[in-house]
Amino acid sequence: MAENFLIKQETYLEAGIHIGTKLKVVDMNPFIYRIRNDGLYVLDLRKIDERIRMAGKLLAKYEPGEVMVVASRTYSGNAASVFSAVTGIKVFQGRFIPGILTNVARADFMEPKILLICDPRSERQAVTEAGTMGIPIVGLCDSDNITTFVDWVIPCNNKGRRSLALIFYLLAREYLMGKGKIASYDEFQKPLAAFEAEPGEEVAVPEGAAAPAAAEESVKAAVQEEKVEEPSDATAVLHSKTAPIRAEGSNREHLEGQSPKASGKPAEAATPAPSEKAEAPKEEPVAPTEEKHAHAHKKKEE
């Protein structure tokens, strides 16, 4: 039977979805499996799974605007807000103000076609108004909850953070399946950790979902790197045009020293390029002025 569960049985047990309270009301007798040694009532896991499955199919018969979720507790509100983001169903968090479902004069008056409540005790006002208006109710009920006006009971631990997160995770997945927005459970991308996280808390992305994104980023980086490397030749030419004068002079001297065949110009006496290692040209000795005058005087005497 465990093979037909919506999720692995170990996940159910780890979330504590089957752990009730030390109190039990007559309304919840059909869903009690046993009582533990510490006095806690244990709910039937098979019935929990069946009821969540049927609740998802029931909600899928309505459009998102026709469904309303009431979540007065913190843990249920966090998971319900993620459920709302995934499905588009409106969630009312916090204290339920009297008259929202019955007083048409109120600015926040609502008239849903079906109501999902997270705790019949904490949301008693919503249950009473929905029952008065004939609105069907799907309720998350613990072992100590009275089920008056609740049309479809989902037995569960409706106080634990992980338990509520798992319930809304499964309901969201079943709702999208019933609406035909996903063809299989594998297409449901929202991780269970997102339903457990507190508002503003970062959720670790599973490796399977992170791999495609990482591959895409690496491809983008490689393409951008190629684009940067392409204009390297043009950049080299641009740098060569603006090279220092010394380099330009040496290039010119190199061209001037080419043979006539290579340059295509008539042969001219090529001036050798000055070399730093070449010896400096020797200057002709200049005779002192006194020797010149003596030489001239000797010619006159002759």
From first to last of its 302 residues, the chain has per-residue pLDDT tens of 445 899 999 999 999 999 999 999 999 999 999 999 999 999 999 999 999 999 999 999 999 999 999 999 989 999 999 999 999 999 999 899 999 999 999 999 999 999 999 999 999 999 999 999 999 999 999 999 999 999 999 999 999 999 999 999 999 999 999 999 999 999 999 999 999 988 766 666 555 444 444 444 544 555 455 544 545 454 444 444 444 444 444 444 444 444 444 444 444 444 455 444 444 445 445 444 455 454 544 454 54
Q: Show the tokens assigned to 140.
A: 């998350």
Cβ-based burial of 193 (10 A; exposed 0-12, middle 13-18, buried ≥19): middle
CA separation, residue 191 to residues 35, 79, 280 (Å): 32, 12, 85
* Spatial separation of the C-alpha atoms in residues 25 and 142, rounded to whole Å: 9
Can you tell me the distance from the alpha carbon of 40 to that of 125, in angstroms, rounded to the nearest whole number? 28
Distance CA 104, CA 122 (A): 24
The two three-digit tokens of residue 72, written as one number: 């007065």
